[in-house]
Amino acid sequence: MIAPTPDNITGWVLAGGQGSRMGGVDKGLQLFQGKALALRAAQRLASQVHTVKLNANRHLPDYASWGYDVHADSLIGFAGPLAGMLTGLQHCTTEWLLCVPCDSPFFPLDLAYRLGMAVDAEQSTMAVAWAPEVDAQGEMVCRPQPVFCLLHRSLQTSLRDFLHTGGRKIDVWTTQHANARMDFNLPHDTRHAFANANTWQELKDLEG
């Protein structure tokens, strides 16, 4: 298995959701600081990977107008982020696929590098980002952020089979594999690096 480097990673922006908590809008096209969320995500990935592609299920010409390859889910019916990841693996022409959601505008600019370090150190086929969150007791703890993951292309068969047998929960699938953990809790890490905007209020709060 070839170790991940910027030359063999495809960046994959997940923008195929229904945006149900925003009234059904196409979330990736909503503006954040004057720029569409999915475009911002693609540009944050561009310096980290070999190429960037987008996953969208609506308004594909709008996404394609930015100059990136755009692919709709290969499974119909808005089957969730795992369906988007499977589509990414199916269209990945590099050794590795780095997935990010479109609605986390501050994800780390060293995401690919640090997840790559994790899989290389553990010789695993997957790495998942972990980030600090406040738990029910008010304590700060690191929790997995599985939509931010680095996947080896060999995982395509496993993910396809999981989805075709009705699986939808991302953490159920990821825990079926030995996956490397990378904590993003260093002093220089942005506190809201993995915060996502599920609602209009959350989007407004992130915009500051």
Phi then psi for residue 48, to 5 deg, are -100, -15
- The whole-chain average pLDDT of the chain stands at 93
Instruction: Answer whether 118's CB lies under 8 Å from 180's CB.
Output: yes
What is the per-residue pLDDT for 49?
Answer: 98
Phi then psi for residue 103, to 5 deg, are -105, 20
Q: What is the pTM (predicted TM-score) of this model? A: 0.94
Mean pLDDT is lowest, of 11-20, 29-38, 110-119, 131-140, for 131-140
Beta strands in the chain, from DSSP E residues, in sequence order: 9-15, 31-32, 35-36, 51-56, 69-71, 96-101, 126-134, 140-152, 180-183
What is the per-residue pLDDT for 192?
Answer: 87
Q: What percent of the chain has pLDDT over 90?
A: 79
Kindly report, residue by residue over 91-142, the tens digit of the pLDDT. Answer: 999 999 999 999 999 999 999 999 999 999 999 999 999 998 877 787 888 9
Write down the domain spans for the chain: 25-78+86-99+114-133+141-207
25-78+86-99+114-133+141-207: which CATH number, 3.60.150.10, 3.30.70.20, 3.90.550.10, 3.50.50.60?
Answer: 3.90.550.10
Helical packing angle, 156-164 and 81-90, nearest 10°: 140
